[in-house]
Amino acid sequence: MEYEELQELTEKTLELLTAKNFREIKALINDLQPQDSALLLEELNEKDILPVFRLLSKENAAETFVEMSYDSQELLLNTFSDAELKAVFDEMFLDDTVDIIEEMPANVVKRIIKQSDAETRNMINEILKYPKDSAGTIMTVEYVSLRKNMTVQECFNRIRQVAVDKETIYNCYVTDDKRKLIGTVTVKDLLLHEYETPISEFMETDVISVEATDDKEFAAQQISKYDLSALPVVDSENRMVGIVTVDDVLDVMEQEATEDISIMAAVTPSTDTYMEQSVWQIWKNRIPWLLILMISATFTGLIINKFEGNLNALSPLLFACIPMLMDTGGNAGSQASVTVIRGLALDEIRPRDALKVLWKELRVSAMLAACLAVVCFGKLYLLDGLAFGYDYTWYICLAVSLSLFATVVLAKTVGCLMPLLAKACRLDPAVVASPFITTIVDALSLIIFCLISMAILPPFLAAA
Amino acid sequence: MEYEELQELTEKTLELLTAKNFREIKALINDLQPQDSALLLEELNEKDILPVFRLLSKENAAETFVEMSYDSQELLLNTFSDAELKAVFDEMFLDDTVDIIEEMPANVVKRIIKQSDAETRNMINEILKYPKDSAGTIMTVEYVSLRKNMTVQECFNRIRQVAVDKETIYNCYVTDDKRKLIGTVTVKDLLLHEYETPISEFMETDVISVEATDDKEFAAQQISKYDLSALPVVDSENRMVGIVTVDDVLDVMEQEATEDISIMAAVTPSTDTYMEQSVWQIWKNRIPWLLILMISATFTGLIINKFEGNLNALSPLLFACIPMLMDTGGNAGSQASVTVIRGLALDEIRPRDALKVLWKELRVSAMLAACLAVVCFGKLYLLDGLAFGYDYTWYICLAVSLSLFATVVLAKTVGCLMPLLAKACRLDPAVVASPFITTIVDALSLIIFCLISMAILPPFLAAA
């Protein structure tokens, strides 16, 4: 649904609300996809949400509720009667229930758990026990399980019986009497075999599965790598405990990419969207990094203080080149570090590739640095020197260009090695992305610049 | 498959190759998942790949081939006989064929097209006509189509007939006699209804579809938003032309995130992985951005040249604060820009939110800036001044802290507005990420610093 369409629907709903024409609102809102009715509800005032939500059919109500933001869910949960709360959660798949429970404050969670039947309550508690970000927390326990002595016909009968309550029926899991996973059968396999064939004849026994305590990102990678639509989750003894479906994986992948991007930009990641976060939350996610980086950057200042006299004595024009040197070093370093960080995240680069990566970056950086140094020399000497009339003599330009060359090579080296080092130490490589590398490279490039200038310039100045 | 396992398998294969024990290699390699046999083949020498590849069964050969890197595919295609090439491509799904064709040089493409039958050739040509990055280029034409007067039993019969050749059978598409899409039916729906029910009674007529010329990223968003496992693709007259499946969408999402991350780090994105790219390719993807940014940064130098005399007269210590000011401004700007860019990519922020975003950033930045300015004042005055003995008087510290405050607020403002402006102008917001914003903020922060210092310091210096 486009934004314009949503605006129109919202206006129409508000008009109907004023006219108290609930019948038409009911027809209108029940006709939408749950994702769209959720968007429509979020456009309304707090006081209008509940009356409109009550017009949704039982099934639509649950599906719409799942698609709403955590804030709106909390608002609704606080105004629901116990019966309404029970009706919504009874229709929901267990993984969605767990998702919501994880985000709600304790008093709301208590009410939800109180309204569930004993079996659901047990399953919720089981799932809540898995470690944060593990496959167990995103799995659903509503899958179809079969026995290996069943025939195709018997399987179809079973699927027909249970299909309504299961999130996916196309992948079925064959377990033994100890609930151990021994094979998988797809509905496609079933359709391609005669009704009387026992499934043991064609079930896939080479099953790709993950353990419930594995990282959810690993589960996502397995689904993406092997093009699965669902992945069985087992315990440490290969007993089936649930499945992770591909739609959950899409969310995980989106979240992980957002997290990496946030960390690379020196922001603590948040599960809320930017528009949902309060000013205070955003401040909290940004201030620690800015402070750390600012304090580290002041040490660069100490380097300048130390060399200032010498540089000024050589030529005051040298100062003007410091921002260009620092920026180019920072950019060169972040190109390398971000590329390596993304490669590590996608498992295209591994820590054991460190030497190969280094060798590649050394060659690339030499080529880049040579090109930049030549252009920089030309720009300073011809444009700033001859055209603009600043006193950029050829030996000053040489000192700057040589420093630029060294800075770029060094920045690339630091930039590619730091994420690999972080990964090898089991830290998140994204943390050492551009801002941190920029700070390190800044200090190093200043030292290089001062040393090179002090080595090259004095003889020429003495001669002049 | 873990890396250690792969190493073991490779060694075993090499031993078996030396011993010419092809029977066992055949057993070993046909037992792997296609993704893993592809990895194994890529570990071998160029001359060993073809003999081992020939040991794969017909079906495994095609599936393994699809999973290999484009480089290895090209190598194999150049050594295949015509019959081998035909055998591999006959087993492949059409969308994979098109994927490969798009990456191969012209002479290889000619051979592939020559070996396909007339029908496949026509379908390939149809798909190749769609614009770059459109939904048409990632769709497959192998879907199950049904008619609305069919009964459940008739649908199952049809699915059983065609299932082997179709990429997904769980979502079926109901079309009229002009091939127009009028509804969808899932196998789950079919299983939940009696065999004699006509599907017109329960088919979903409110179908979410995309046009073949729509952006593939839009198709991915629809699948992700509505939790679909397949999305129908239609032409401008709502005639069914193909489907996009969720596994293709996983790849699109991963690619798009990688692309955005590359652009944000000022690297031209590439479809090859880092390890696959040559030094020359990497150089080409990085040098233009580094050059542009370096040249822009030299203009910051001109600002320093202009104010240098004044600053030096006020206090040489001021220079030492420039890197800290520039870095903090750059970091603050990139926090805001990267957050907004990601929000735009996920459709959580839209250009019309510009004022809301600006108002939020102004409040956040004022709070951040105040905190940083206080810490900066304290650090300079107490640590560098009193403890280290540099001559940081309180009015110098005040000038620096005020400049820092102004820089951070300005950086956040520029950082959040630039991506929104880019989006409104239909440019890729990622292009104006950190490096460009850093360059702009550097120049602005220097000007602010010089002006504030020149306004604050002279009266105190005169008094001293």
Which tens digits make up the pLDDT trace of A38-65?
Answer: 888 888 888 888 888 888 888 888 889 8
pLDDT tens by residue, B323-342:
888 888 888 888 888 888 88
In a mutagenesis test of the B interface, which of A3, A168, A279, A444 is the best target, namely the one with the most B β-carbons within 10 Å? A279
pLDDT tens digits along A178-189: 889 999 999 888
The rounded mean pLDDT for chain B is 85
Q: How confident is the model at residue A409 (pLDDT cuts 50, 70, 90)?
A: very high
- Which structure tokens are listed for B115? 């070996």
| Terminal alpha carbon distance of chain A | 74
Q: Can you read off the two tokens belonging to residue B105?
A: 């040089």
Question: How close A360 gets to chain B, by Cα (Å)?
Answer: 6
B154 interaction partners in chain A (CB closer than 8 Å)? none
Q: Provide the pLDDT for residue A402.
A: 93
- Alpha-carbon gap: B86 to the closest alpha carbon of chain A (Å): 24
Residue A385 predicted with pLDDT over 80: no
Mean pLDDT, chain A, whole residue set: 85
pLDDT in tens, A161-220: 887 777 788 899 999 988 899 999 998 888 888 889 999 999 998 899 999 889 888 898
Q: State mean pLDDT over B179-193.
A: 90
Q: Does A156 touch chain B (CB under 8 A)?
A: yes
Judged by CB atoms closer than 8 Å, whether chains meet at A226 and B274 is answered as no
What's the mean pLDDT in B166-171? 82
Mean pLDDT of A361-385: 88
Chain A residues 58-77 with CB within 8 Å of chain B = none
Whether A98 shows a pLDDT value over 70: the answer reads yes
State how far the Cα of A170 lies from the Cα of A159, in Å rounded to an integer: 9
Residue B299 reports pLDDT greater than 80: no
pLDDT at residue A406 is higher than 90 = yes
- Asked if A336 and A412 count as a contact pair (C-beta separation under 8 A), the reply is yes
Closest Cβ opposite residue B170 in set A170, A253, A308: A170
CB contact under 8 A, B335 and A290: yes
The answer to whether B327 contacts A163, with C-beta atoms less than 8 Å apart, is no
Q: What percentage of chain A reaches a pLDDT higher than 90?
A: 14
Q: Enumerate the residues of chain A whose CB falls inside 8 A of the CB of residue B169.
A: 188, 191
Instruction: Residue A294: list chain B partners with CB under 8 A.
Output: 324, 327-328, 331, 372, 375-376, 404
Indicate whether B421 pLDDT > 70. Answer: yes
State pLDDT tens for residues A133-153.
888 888 888 889 899 899 999
Residue A328 pLDDT greater than 80, yes or no: yes
Q: How far is A262 from chain B (nearest CA, A)?
A: 7
The distance from CA A199 to its chain's CA centroid, rounded to whole angstroms, is 40
3-state secondary structure B331-371: HHHHHHHHHHHHHHHCCCCCHHHHHHHHHHHHHHHHHHHHH
Element (H, E) at B61: helix B58-67
Give pLDDT, residue A309: 75
B346 touches chain A (CB under 8 A): yes
Please name the residue of chain A whose CA is at the shortest distance from the CA of residue B265.
A335
Among the residue ranges B168-172, B192-196, B218-222, B261-265, the one predicted with the least confidence is: B261-265
Top pLDDT among A285 and A434 is at A285
Contact A327 B188 (CB under 8 A): no
The proportion of chain A whose per-residue pLDDT surpasses 70, expressed as a percent, equals 99
- Whether A92 shows a pLDDT value over 90: the answer reads no
Phi, psi of B22 (to 5 degrees): -70, -30
What SS3 state is found at A20? coil
Nearest residue on chain B to A438, judged by CA atoms? B327
Find the CB nearest B265 among A164, A335, A375: A335
What is the band of B98 on the pLDDT scale with cuts at 50, 70, 90? confident
Closest CB from A250, A266, A322 relative to B331: A266
Segment B319-324 mean pLDDT: 83
Asked if the model's pLDDT at residue A434 lies above 70, the reply is no
Which B-chain residues 193-252 have CB contacts (< 8 A) with chain A? Answer: 206, 208, 223-227, 229, 246-247, 249-251
Shortest distance between the Cα of A141 and any Cα of chain B, in A, equals 18
Which residue of chain A is at minimal alpha-carbon distance from B433?
A: A265
